[in-house]
Amino acid sequence: MNLTLKIWRQKGPQDKGQMVEYKVTDISEHMSFLEMMDVLNESLVAKDEVPIAFDHDCREGICGMCSLHINGEPHGPDRGITTCQLHMRTFKDGDTIYIEPWRAKAFPVIKDLIVDRMAFERIQQAGGYISVNTSGNTQDANATPISKIDADLSMDAAACIGCGACVASCKNSSAMLFVAAKVSQYALLPQGRVEAADRVRNMVAQMDLEGFGNCTNTGACEVECPKGISLENIARMNREYLKATII
């Protein structure tokens, strides 16, 4: 298939950047979206042009590195997938595809389609962990009984790969689905309850400090999340926050 691509090019953080049009030909419908980008980059290198910078790592939907806002949606038009799992058969021959970086003040562009997602790391560092002494005398995790329901809900929340699609899709650039997933995965387990109040207070404070917008419950994040993180987690975070600040 032959495609027209409109891709955001930006030399560096200070550059203004612009959309640039490219044509790609003979793209196989079996390629993943990132393979199509590889083909484009090979052609650019062959012409002595600077290839397009984009994030990728595992290319099997686990690492959360690939981003790309494709035709107005994070990770493209399909549901429950990352960009590396998006296949070219989703598009039609002759299509024009817009490819942009995640857009949020808290995710500044480093180059072309790569954004700095360290804001998520700083939120994690603010409380997304449990303080365990790893001296060798740690208790066996299975010694603490946990209900199947809570264990499953916690695992569902822990499926978050921190890709940032929630922020990219949200009209308010809110990071609440990400933070809620991290708060929930611990809040649901007895080991996490000990520091639950400090965790939610500190993580929300860091989230606000990073300049993410406020959640208005549009639900776009849940729809676009490649790991199906549910809005129930945001409600849980709201409850945890109220408990930690008022009660």
Partner 1 sequence: MSGFLSSSIARKVAMALSALFLIIFLIIHLAVNLTSVFSADVFNEASHFMGTNPLIQFAMQPVLIFGVVFHFVMGFVLELKNKSARNVKYANYNGAANASWMSRNMVVSGAVILAFIVLHFIDFWIPEINTKYILGDMSGVLPGEEGYRYFEELQHKFANPARVGAYVIAFILLGLHLAHGFQSAFQSIGFNNKYTKCVKSFGTWYSILIPFGFIFVALYHYFNH
- State both tokens at 63: 């690492």
Angle between helices 148-158 and 176-187 in degrees, nearest 10? 150
Least distance between partner 1 and beta carbon 70 (Å):
9
The binding site for partner 1 (CB under 8 A) comprises: 6, 8, 17, 19, 69, 71-73, 77, 98, 100, 103-106, 109, 169, 171-174, 176, 204-205, 207-208, 211-220, 223-224, 231-232, 234-239, 241-242, 245
> In terms of Cα–Cα distance, which of 144, 123, 149, 145 is closest to 201?
123
To which residue do tokens 């049009």 refer? 21
Least distance between partner 1 and beta carbon 53 (Å):
17
Least distance between partner 1 and beta carbon 193 (Å):
17
**Rounded CA separation 6/24 (Å):** 11
To which residue do tokens 């639950």 refer? 196
Q: Characterize the bridge pairing of strands 73-74 and 69-70.
A: antiparallel
Least distance between partner 1 and beta carbon 122 (Å):
16
Given the complex with partner 1, which of 58 and 165 has the nearer CB atom? 165
Given the complex with partner 1, which of 6 and 122 has the nearer CB atom? 6
Given the complex with partner 1, which of 34 and 180 has the nearer CB atom? 180
Given the complex with partner 1, which of 57 and 150 has the nearer CB atom? 150
**Rounded CA separation 58/241 (Å):** 35
